[in-house]
Amino acid sequence: MRSVIGLLLLGALAIAGCDTQTQPSQQANETSAPANAAAPAPVSKVDRSHAGETAPSLPFTDAAGKKLSLADFRGKPVLLNLWATWCIPCIKEMPTLDALAGRTGDALVVLPLSQDLKGMEVVGPFFQKNGYQALKPYLDTDTAFSVELGANLPTTILYDAAGKEVWRVAGEFDWSGEQASALIAEAK
């Protein structure tokens, strides 16, 4: 029964796709940007509508298969990133999450929670291939977090040290920039 639910969830995620944050096409009467202009960065929106809500108590595992929950990290702010190896915007932001984790050290838990149904079978090689220095893989092979939180991928949620949501960002985000630093400073 669990595998049927997992397949249904995977199908729903595949149909919905990951949040690509595509820009609308230009109108015929607009002036086009020069060919050498840098592409605009994806636009992400900070959602504060869930601020103050308690972190879900859903279980997930670490790379060794140990069961955990977000409550295991109370006492420190947690930046929960829901992602998958097949989600292009997720993959693009992972290096900035790794840099953030390295920069903040023990002051902030950066928790990339894979929504891949095959768990370490695909996440392990992905982490090894990309050589992340500070990130550790965590697994939600039931995609319970995406379903419970109604989240497209990638979605990143900041929880304060007491386990209360501060904000969430849907879509790719540059976690190495000044905007990210200012947002993360909101966690107490």
Q: What is the mean pLDDT of residues 169-175?
A: 96
Instruction: Identify whether the C-beta of residue 60 lies closer than 8 Å to the C-beta of residue 52.
Output: no
Cα–Cα distance for residue pair 98/131, rounded to 1 Å: 10
**β 67-68/60-62 pair status:** antiparallel
Cα–Cα distance for residue pair 147/124, rounded to 1 Å: 23
pLDDT value for 29: 31
CB atoms within 10 A of CB 170: 20
How much of the chain exceeds pLDDT 90, in percent? 75
Instruction: Identify whether the C-beta of residue 159 lies closer than 8 Å to the C-beta of residue 69.
Output: no
Listed residue (170, 11, 15) closest to 93, CA to CA: 170
Cα–Cα distance for residue pair 1/188, rounded to 1 Å: 41
Instruction: Identify whether the C-beta of residue 158 lies closer than 8 Å to the C-beta of residue 168.
Output: yes
Q: Between 177 and 32, where is the model more confident?
A: 177
pLDDT digits (tens, 9 = 90+) for 33-53: 333 334 434 456 899 999 999
| DSSP H helices in 29-177 | 88-104, 120-130, 144-149
Listed residue (25, 176, 183) closest to 100, CA to CA: 176
Burial classification of residue 46, based on how many CB atoms lie within 10 Å of its CB (0-12 exposed, 13-18 middle, 19 or more buried):
middle
pLDDT at 6 over 80: no
pLDDT digits (tens, 9 = 90+) for 123-167: 999 999 999 999 999 999 999 999 999 999 999 999 999 999 999
pLDDT digits (tens, 9 = 90+) for 66-105: 999 999 999 999 999 999 999 999 999 999 999 999 999 9
Q: Whose structure tokens read 């190495």?
A: 176
Instruction: Identify whether the C-beta of residue 89 lies closer than 8 Å to the C-beta of residue 154.
Output: yes
Instruction: Identify whether the C-beta of residue 55 lies closer than 8 Å to the C-beta of residue 71.
Output: yes
